[in-house]
């Protein structure tokens, strides 16, 4: 199944700590596509919280290419929860 460019992938919502996306149970490459779309929509001033059922290894290289980082944070049992943020700018 090819993702529709207009359809949101996974369950998405906003909370005080950022934009959340729950991609648990989705087959590859849907989680990666949905997460990267949300990162692009949020832009450099925001944060994305990912709720996943596995460690999304391919995501880390994609994030590095666009200047974002991933940090594992506490989540529910059996969940991989990540906080994605833009890399901090280095002072010039």
Task: Write down the residue that tokens 């590095």 correspond to.
Answer: 64
Q: pLDDT band at residue 36, thresholds of 50, 70 and 90?
A: very high
Q: Are 51 and 79 in contact (CB under 8 A)?
A: yes
For residue 2, pLDDT over 60 is answered with no
Phi-psi bin for 36: left (phi > 0), alpha (psi -120 to 50), beta?
A: alpha
Q: Average pLDDT for residues 16-29, to the nearest whole number?
A: 97
Round the average pLDDT of the chain to a whole number and report it: 93
Interatomic CA distance for residues 70 and 63, integer angstroms: 8
The CATH-assigned architecture of domain 11-86 is: 2-Layer Sandwich (3.30)
Q: Tell me the pTM.
A: 0.90
Q: Quick one: which H or E segment has residue 84?
A: strand 80-86
Q: What would the two tokens of residue 61 be? A: 């290289």
């Amino acid at each position: 199944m090819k993702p529709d460019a207009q359809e949101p992938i996974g369950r998405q919502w906003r909370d005080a700590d950022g934009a959340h996306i729950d991609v648990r149970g989705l087959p590859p490459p849907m989680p990666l596509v949905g997460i990267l779309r949300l990162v692009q929509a949020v832009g450099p001033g925001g944060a994305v919280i990912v709720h996943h059922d596995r460690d999304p290894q391919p995501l880390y290289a994609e994030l590095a290419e666009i200047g974002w980082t991933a940090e594992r944070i506490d989540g529910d049992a059996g969940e991989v929860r990540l906080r994605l943020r833009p890399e901090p700018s280095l002072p010039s």
